Structure 1
């Protein structure tokens, strides 16, 4: 209910004139300093909306936003920071570009800089496929071990990164093709099964000795030209070692049958044109340093 102005007997403060169940509301205005600060924040907010990007609005081409009279964006700040970083590294990167990669590996100071740059470049460009720890995954090689498809020397790694695999970047792109033995009618399904058993037998995992025996002959006629008579692979052709129980697409029976029947031809980008010679060398040195480089 509402009544005439009432003065609270305890505090001596007037009430607002409203009462709820015998409880009266004291009329205690906010301190002036608080009110002034509140109004100042409103003025500041309005000024911020005008000066900086703030308001979204819909146009005929979709949603956009007010750019603000100052024309400020954090994107410009980031671009400026990246430009400053690039400028600070330009001299060292030029030295890396002009120095043979084997010589960089022997220069302690230059190697330290190159490894730091390579680690950053790996995180930005390679970790999406090979993993943040270069541990690889199904279809993506583990770069920490000593099992290489195309060679693990500094020069080999640099060539692979720069020119890619089956990317058709240039004449130095790594090229090979795992045949589709079943799909293209080169082998029958039974022969594919036998070859898979033979490959399993090379890793003491065969479940059918007779099939593995038949598969050895099929292997010699169809697979040995790339993987070698001893099945230890050929890095000149990018043919993997089949005896070390390290598998790119899985080493179980079903995965091996799928590989033989349908082929495997993974692709790796050619990073040379994208990243430049210096960064490619940094990446090669970093990958080489992970433990598997030769």
Structure 2
């Protein structure tokens, strides 16, 4: 106390110690700060009494209100489950081709389908659904479809799969092998004609005749393909197995036919419907058209 003195500049008493000529003023704390500090002490005591606070051996003190973070989480999950169930019930009632008429429900379906896609489909089609040409997994972002790209057609493909044994309704197409059917010159001529259909080469009369004799029945006169038999379109720039001469020769001589598991029995119908909505939303989805009313509608394909 003997070292304390009054600072001449401020008139405030010092705390009594000095270092290198510097002294500290004993300025009182503001009243508002002190009262706030006291209130935090009172609040802390009340919190410890009301809520779980002190850790024990196998649990914390329970608090007089009986609140726990686990019970709050359980309630929130319950609310989310009820909301999700209402959406699923609405999806179950709505025919898939009518989903676009209900924009909020369609958005919910796409969101749910995106989650299902990331769990079940990215292994083959990739996280961005771009597929893998080397392995024969189709790109789902483009507008080429083997059996149809509207919501109903996609749902059918997901439900029954492609070339699935034991399912009479599975998508199936078959290209015969032409190994040994043509000599080297004939094979080159046929490849020339196939490339010409998409503007990648010049037409070859010999190849055109071979194509007419062997390929038109499935792929069409101009390479437009056929959804009835799942024959891919050849007159565009989208190729599942590659568009090089070597890739086309390989497919002619030793066709590679892909498979896709059927999701019926693995996923419930509502999840399949949501998956179809998500795939349709990726950019290549087509509008649903009643074939009976429009029998001459032109179709595209997904190789």
Aligned length: 213
1:202 Cα shift?
1.8
Q: Which residue of 1 aligns with 2:153?
A: 156
**TM-score of the aligned structures, taking structure 2 as reference length:** 0.64
Give the secondary structure class of the aligned counterpart of 2:265: helix
**Residues 59-118 of structure 1, C-alpha deviation per residue, up to 9 Å, x if partnerless?**
xxxxxxxxxxxxxxxxxxxxxx99997676333223312320122221122112111100
Gap runs ≥5 in structure 2:
1-56, 59-75, 287-303
Q: Quick check: 2:197–2:222 contact (8 Å CA) kept in 1?
A: no
Matched, 1:98 2:93: yes
* TM-score for both structures, normalised by structure 1: 0.66
- In structure 2, the residue matched to 1:264 is 256
Once the two structures are superposed, what CA deviation does each residue of 1:159-180 show, in whole Å capped at 9, x if it has no partner?
1111111113522200111111
Cα displacement (A) at 1:206: 2.6
Q: After superposition, where does 1:1-294 map in structure 2 within 5 Å?
A: 89-138=84-133, 139-182=136-179, 185-206=180-201, 212-294=204-286
In structure 2, the CA distance between the partners of 1:103 and 1:265, relative to structure 1 (3 Å rule), is same
Cα distance in 2 between the residues matched to 1:200 and 1:170: 35
CA deviation digits over 1:3-24, x for unaligned, max 9? xxxxxxxxxxxxxxxxxxxxxx
Over 4 Å off, 4+ runs: 81-88
Q: Deviations over 1:170-212 (max 9, x none)?
A: 2220011111111xx44444332221111112223237x6xx2
Counterpart CA distance in 2 for 1:275 and 1:239 is: 28
Report which of the two has the higher share of helix. 1
1:235 alignment partner, SS class: coil
Q: More displaced, 81-90 or 194-203?
A: 81-90
User: Partners of 2:184 and 2:82 in 1: how far apart?
Assistant: 60
